[in-house]
Amino acid sequence: MMRAAVIGCGISGIASAFYLRQRNIEVDLYESEDRIGGRIGSELLLGRWLDFGGKNVGKNYSLFRDFVRECGIHDYEYFGFNTSQIIDGRVVKINKEGAKLFNTLRFISLCGFDGIRKLYPHVEAILKDRSQGVLNSEYFNMLAEKYDHVSLAGYLKEPCLSHVVRPVTVRMNGAEPDECYPGNFGSNLALIIDSYEQLKKGMHGMLDAFQTSAEHRLLKILTGHRVTSVSSGTVKGSIRIASLNKGVPSTAVYDKVISALPAIRLSLLLEEHLPEASGLLRQVRYYPVAVAIVKYRHDVFQKTQRAMVFDHTFPLSNIGAYGINDLDLVRYTFSGRVSRTVISDSSVPEDVVALGENIASPYFAIRDNTRLSFAYRYISEGLCAYSPFHYRLLRDIDKKLSSITGFGATGDYRRGASIEACFRAAGECVDKLLGSEH
């Protein structure tokens, strides 16, 4: 039986292992941390597992929903699209819950004439063919050829930049509009026009189900194993992996290997054996994100207003209810240019939470609402912002990676950061690597 290894057990690694096992291939899944999940991982807060990322499941996430079904999970709960922002000193609500005509007109007013003129054809292309709403799609590659010499800040104008574009890029990419490019924006637009549910047992329930099923499907999950190098094996067509587990080195040889690491992590792994590929991978930009999930004694939100985005002058990019019925459970997200100057890996979590509370308290019931507990994460390479002419960079990366026969790479920089895009990229990576062999 063919043996394969997958490096990294975030959502891209899980998806890669899933598609390899569908081809009846024995898989070792390497994860440097002591538990799986990566950036969608969970933390225990007051006896409840809470997800830090990926918890909103789009209605159009067909690949991910198929995987969840295979894990034996069928229960979703409505979450919807409900947010707000401050415009000219007043709170403006934006949602897809009823009053469709009113909210459509509001969205048009937020975009402005120039925004509608430029964005509508792109939205229409995605609605006609959902596969276009990802990185490296035919439609948006053509757009990149025309416009990626400028950033989104040069391609679009106000008010669209501040009221529509930035709330999406700063949340999904950790980047400002002048750090993002038109040819990559399809992956953001696809998220805007979708609607969302959540798994009733959260991503933690899915991760548990995946680990349980692994025991019966020739899938070995090697937590605490940090891969230190990847190179061609001594036997033609084989690949050698070196790793460390609790400081103890070991090596293993496989027929196929897939990296499911962020581009920046893969670049470090390939520095010795593929320096040119490593240099190209470093061109994919990542930005930090800090997330705090805070439990309060009383409700912070109302059901009609469950979230808010903040403008470029604040380190807090957005605040939102953890779930439609979790109005006392608040998720604070810190990303964007100002956040990078204020928050780092040395910041005191308690201080970061207090900063978020101070910014959001004028708009929500936070002041004099007892904070019971919180969970916090800072991820230095948390959000991927891609690169200008990104599809060209991906093509060049793949040319360099092809020097290791049987090696493939997937991840959030391939088709986009959503869990559905990660599943699509993983499936394509497996298909390309195996061809018609299985």
* Pure H helices in 73-157: 100-128, 138-147, 152-155
**Mean pLDDT, all residues of the chain:** 93
Give per-residue pLDDT as tens, 297-315: 999 999 888 999 999 999 9
* Percent share of the chain, pLDDT over 90: 80
Residue 86 lies in a domain: no
Residue 89 lies in a domain: no
Same domain, 369 and 399: no
Same domain, 134 and 8: no
Instruction: For residues 438 and 436, give the distance between their C-alpha atoms in angstroms, rounded to a whole number.
Output: 6
Same domain, 48 and 102: no
**Residue 95 reports pLDDT greater than 90:** no
Residue 294 lies in a domain: yes
For the segment 165-188, the average pLDDT, to the nearest whole number, is 97
Same domain, 262 and 411: yes
pLDDT at 9: 96
Residues near 69 by beta carbon (within 8 Å), at least 6 away in sequence: none
Strand, helix or coil for residue 364: coil
CB 130 within 8 A of CB 168: no
Is the previous residue joined to 349 through a cis bond, with omega within 30 degrees of 0? no
pLDDT at 100: 57
Ramachandran assignment for 46, one of left (phi > 0), alpha (psi -120 to 50 degrees), beta (any other) = left
Same domain, 133 and 14: no
Residue 85 lies in a domain: no
Boundary of a domain, candidates 194, 219, 235? 194
**Residue 21 carries which side chain, given as an amino acid letter?**
R
Same domain, 110 and 250: no
Same domain, 146 and 169: yes
Backbone angles phi and psi of 414, in degrees to 5: -90, -55
> Which CATH number do you get for residue 340?
3.90.660.10
Give per-residue pLDDT as tens, 347-356: 999 999 999 9
**Residue 99 reports pLDDT greater than 80:** no
> Which CATH number do you get for residue 41?
3.50.50.60
pLDDT at 436: 59
Q: In Å, what is the CA distance from 285 to each residue of 47, 78, 294?
A: 36, 33, 29
Same domain, 325 and 247: no
The secondary structure element, H or E, covering residue 296 is strand 285-296
**Residue 104 reports pLDDT greater than 70:** no
**For the chain, what is the domain count?**
3
Same domain, 134 and 257: no
In order, the DSSP letters of 240-260 are EEEEEETTEEEEEEESEEEE-
Residues near 350 by beta carbon (within 8 Å), at least 6 away in sequence: none
CB 310 within 8 A of CB 359: yes
pTM, two decimals, is 0.95
Q: In Å, what is the CA distance from 262 to each residue of 24, 67, 240?
A: 26, 22, 20
**Residue 360 carries which side chain, given as an amino acid letter?**
A
Confidence of residue 109 (pLDDT cuts 50, 70, 90): confident
pLDDT at 102: 52
Residue with tokens 């394509």: 428
Same domain, 273 and 395: yes
Residue 322 lies in a domain: yes
For the segment 220-233, the average pLDDT, to the nearest whole number, is 94
Same domain, 122 and 248: no
Q: Which residues pair with 196 in a beta bridge?
A: 58
Same domain, 70 and 161: no
CB 401 within 8 A of CB 409: yes
Instruction: For residues 325 and 302, give the distance between their C-alpha atoms in angstroms, rounded to a whole number.
Output: 10
**Residue 166 reports pLDDT greater than 90:** yes
Boundary of a domain, candidates 156, 173, 194? 194
Residue 329 lies in a domain: yes
**Residue 207 carries which side chain, given as an amino acid letter?**
L
Residue 92 lies in a domain: no
Give per-residue pLDDT as tens, 261-277: 999 999 999 999 899 99
**Chain centroid to CA 264:** 15
Instruction: For residues 42 and 285, give the distance between their C-alpha atoms in angstroms, rounded to a whole number.
Output: 25
Give per-residue pLDDT as tens, 146-157: 999 999 999 999
Domain that holds residue 182: 97-194
Boundary of a domain, candidates 140, 162, 194? 194
pLDDT at 110: 84
pLDDT at 288: 97
For the segment 22-31, the average pLDDT, to the nearest whole number, is 95
Residue 153 lies in a domain: yes
